[in-house]
Chains A and B, each alone.
Chain A
Amino acid sequence: MTYALELKDVSKSFGLVHANKDIDLAVSPGSIHGIIGENGAGKSTLMNIIYGMHRADKGTISFNGQQVDVRSSADAIEHGIGMVHQHFMLVPTFSVLENVMLGSEGGLTLSEGRATALERLTHLSTTYNLEVDPHALVSDLNVGQRQRVEIIKALKGGAKVLILDEPTGVLTPQEADQLFEILKVLRDDGVSVLLITHKLTEIMDITDTVSIMRQGEMVGHRKTSETSPQDLAELMVGREVLLEVTRTPATPAEVRFSAKNLGYTNSQGVVELEDINFEVRAGEILGVAGVSGNGQTQLMETLAGMLPLTTGVINILGTEVTSADATSPRIIRDLGVGHIPEDRHTHGLILDFEARENMILGFHDSELAGSGKLFDYSAIQQNCEDKMAHFDVRPSNPRLSAKNFSGGNQQKIVIAREFSANPGVLLVGQPTRGVDVGAIEFIHKQLLELRDAGCAILLVSVELDEVMSLADRIMVLCDGQNVGIIDAEKADRSTLGLMMAGQKAEAAT
Chain B
Amino acid sequence: MTRNSIVFDNVSYNFGKKEIFKNLSFEVPAGQTVGIMGPSGTGKTTLLRLMGGQIQPDNGTILVEGKDINKIKRAELFELRKCLGMLFQSGALFSDLTVFENVAFPLKEHTRLNGEMIRYLVLIKLNSVGLRGAAHLFPRELSGGMQRRVALARAMALDPKLIMYDEPFTGLDPIALGVISNLIKDVGSVYECTNVIVSHDIEETARISNLLYVLSEGEIIGQGSPQDLKKDDSPRLKQFLNGLPDGPVPFHYPAPEYLDSLIGVKNTKRTIIKRDD
Chains A and B are bound partners: no
Residues of B within 8 A of A (CB): none
